[in-house]
């Protein structure tokens, strides 16, 4: 049908949108969102080309990323890196560079650190020693995966599980959910890569620490060699702190690691987890809460391929001490003392403390490792964009403060300021907040961490959480989710749209778009260095805004 000759351009566009939506060519919710974003872009078309928000001098960029100033200068001269001049800066203004773009350039031009022969031998020596104790079954499984080159296989069930997640998320408003009933069944039906017997000394301790993924048929274990090795990290750290007899095996693992690597044993163990993950990657891995917190170090190491990662949080550790330290360490801090021998340690002599397996994830003692050996670790290069919900942070800070005895409230506020100041003092951390709760949308609530190579999807549905707290997904698996709908063209088109919500490029674009539209406020851009006084002043001002 030909349009009327006097039909306006506006009417023609409306009719086109109605035709697309009415025919099902484009899902109506996606069409509405696309039109809204197009209108917003047209309204701001007169604004000059947007500058990156993380502009710094070449010298500052070289210090923050750990490359020479000459290298940055050469990348600009050769056109490998863009330079920018702020509007109104005048003819003699010094061009600046985007810190995240420098991080990407630096990491793409540096060789990945290989799993060297000596490091590999040290890990095998460590596992060999553990094979002489009650840790033998798990240590042997990890060792065989390294020596026999047996990787976890990509299965059709894994693609179907991720597809069920995306299909369930296609709903509008309160119809958005994490999994269909079939998806929950598929998730629980996955068999662990290695099974662990909870009746053994090690298996019982792992279970009490919340480190074992449980399948629907009652089998428990780990979905990959890397998470199995993370289990040993968890046993050697928090697991060795409890006064009960079963924690002896945790102290044994720690002493064995120290015999092999010396005082840097935990850093070397984390290094081994990263390399085993690269050597034997798992396409889709179920994570418990404890494993999610323990794995931030490996995830950030892997994100170095592009130099940038993005995290979203409703309960941000840099703002809320209870989310940063976990319940046990925070109790000691508020009581005026702390075991400073290790970040995860707490004071002895207070009697038995609750095990992670019996605690809500918000109080999990492994949380401190998430930040100390992840977000704040200066041995990992690249920019870490940490974005949180301001409304949830405010509610969490005030709510926890109100529940504390009067004598601990000042200590809690001081702890919050100190923790935030430490975070702001890291040049590689970019801290940002989503201003309104309504803007912390469904996808942000589920993307715990995102990088070009993998994404961690947090699960909130209690049905799904009985099996996993989060899913680690290799992004190379995403195209298979779309291809799985080859018999249904309409479903395939919709899947293609929604799968993009899990792609790093889209997450990154939305992050920048939210900043441009003032949906997100950057508290401190990546690459900006603050001295102790500046960091504390900014931290105190931020915490006070949440309390006033």
Mean pLDDT over residues 380-393, rounded? 93
Please report which confidence band the pLDDT of residue 304 belongs to, taking 50, 70 and 90 as the band edges.
confident
227 DSSP assignment = H
Alpha helices in 117-155 (DSSP H): 117-130, 136-147
pTM, whole model, 2 decimals? 0.84
Mean pLDDT over residues 410-421, rounded? 97
Please report which confidence band the pLDDT of residue 44 belongs to, taking 50, 70 and 90 as the band edges.
very low
- The rounded distance, in Å, linking the Cα atoms of 364 and 355 is 9
Tell me what pLDDT residue 59 has: 86
Mean pLDDT over residues 428-443, rounded? 94
Tell me what pLDDT residue 422 has: 96
- 335-371: per-residue pLDDT in tens? 988 888 899 999 987 777 999 999 999 999 999 999 9
- 270-298: per-residue pLDDT in tens? 999 999 999 888 899 999 999 999 999 99
Q: Is 221 left (phi over 0), alpha (psi -120 to 50) or beta?
A: left
Q: Which of 248, 207, 239, 244 is nearest to 351 (CA)?
A: 244
- 534-548: per-residue pLDDT in tens? 999 999 999 999 998
Mean pLDDT over residues 7-27, rounded? 73
- Can you give 235-280 as a three-state secondary structure string? HHCHHHHCCCHHHHHHHHHHHHHHHHHHHHHHHHHHHHHHHHHHHC
More confident residue, 32 or 192: 192
Token pair recorded at residue 395: 């509610």
For the ranges 10-14, 92-96, 187-191, the maximum mean pLDDT occurs at 187-191
- Other CB atoms closer than 10 Å to residue 74's CB: what's the count? 12
CB contact at 8 A, 112 and 125:
no
Tell me what pLDDT residue 20 has: 75
Q: What is the DSSP string of 18-40?
A: HHHHHHTSS-HHHHHHHHHHHHH
Backbone angles phi, psi at 222, to 5 degrees: -130, 150
- The rounded distance, in Å, linking the Cα atoms of 460 and 178 is 8
Is 126 strand, coil or helix? Answer: helix
* Res 6 pLDDT > 60: no
Tell me what pLDDT residue 3 has: 47
Please report which confidence band the pLDDT of residue 46 belongs to, taking 50, 70 and 90 as the band edges.
very low
* Res 209 pLDDT > 80: yes
């Amino acid at each position: 049908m030909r349009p009327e000759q006097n039909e306006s351009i506006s009417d023609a566009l409306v009719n086109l949108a109605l035709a697309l939506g009415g025919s099902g060519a484009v899902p109506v919710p996606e069409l509405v969102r696309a039109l809204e974003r197009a209108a917003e872009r047209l309204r701001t078309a007169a604004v000059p080309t947007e500058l990156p928000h993380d502009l710094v001098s070449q010298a500052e960029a070289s210090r923050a990323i750990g490359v020479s100033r000459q290298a940055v200068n050469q990348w600009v001269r050769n056109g490998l890196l863009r330079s920018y001049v702020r509007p109104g800066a005048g003819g003699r203004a010094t061009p600046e560079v985007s810190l995240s773009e420098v991080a990407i350039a630096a990491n793409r031009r540096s060789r990945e650190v290989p799993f060297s022969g000596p490091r590999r031998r040290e890990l095998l020596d460590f596992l060999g020693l553990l094979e002489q104790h009650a840790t033998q079954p798990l240590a042997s499984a990890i060792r065989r995966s390294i020596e026999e080159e047996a990787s976890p296989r990509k299965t059709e069930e894994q693609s179907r599980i991720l597809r069920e997640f995306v299909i369930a998320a296609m709903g509008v408003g309160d119809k958005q959910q994490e999994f269909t009933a079939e998806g929950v069944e598929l998730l629980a039906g996955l068999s662990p890569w290695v099974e662990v017997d909870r009746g053994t000394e090690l298996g019982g301790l792992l279970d009490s620490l919340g480190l074992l993924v449980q399948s629907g048929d009652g089998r428990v274990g780990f979905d990959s060699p890397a998470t199995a090795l993370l289990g040993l990290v968890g046993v050697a750290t928090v697991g060795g702190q409890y006064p009960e007899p079963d924690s002896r095996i945790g102290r044994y693992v720690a002493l064995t690691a120290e015999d092999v690597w010396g005082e840097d044993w935990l850093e070397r163990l984390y290094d081994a987890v990263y390399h085993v993950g690269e050597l034997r990657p798992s396409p889709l891995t179920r994570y418990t809460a404890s494993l999610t917190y323990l794995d931030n170090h490996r995830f950030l190491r892997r994100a170095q391929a592009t130099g940038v990662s993005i995290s979203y949080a409703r309960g941000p550790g840099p703002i809320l001490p209870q989310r940063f330290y976990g319940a046990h360490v925070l109790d000691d801090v508020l009581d005026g003392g702390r075991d400073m021998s290790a970040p995860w340690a707490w004071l002895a002599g207070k009697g038995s403390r609750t095990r992670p397996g019996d605690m809500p994830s918000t109080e999990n003692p492994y949380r401190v490792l998430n930040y100390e050996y992840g977000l704040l670790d200066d041995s990992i290069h690249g920019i870490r964009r940490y974005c949180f919900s301001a409304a949830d942070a405010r509610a969490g800070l005030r709510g926890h403060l109100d529940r504390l005895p009067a004598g601990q409230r000042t200590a809690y506020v001081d702890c919050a300021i100190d923790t935030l100041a430490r975070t702001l003092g890291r040049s590689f951390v970019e801290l940002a907040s989503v201003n309104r709760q309504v803007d912390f949308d469904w996808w942000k609530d589920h993307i715990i961490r995102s990088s070009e190579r993998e994404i961690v999807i947090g699960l909130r549905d209690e049905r799904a959480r009985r099996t996993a707290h989060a899913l680690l997904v290799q992004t190379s698996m995403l195209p298979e989710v779309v291809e799985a709908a080859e018999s249904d063209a309409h479903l395939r088109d919709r899947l293609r749209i929604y799968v993009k919500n899990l792609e790093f490029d889209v997450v990154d674009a939305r992050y920048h778009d939210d900043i441009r539209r003032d949906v997100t406020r950057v508290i401190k851009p990546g690459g900006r260095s603050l001295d102790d006084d500046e960091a504390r002043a900014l931290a105190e001002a931020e915490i006070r805004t949440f309390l006033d």
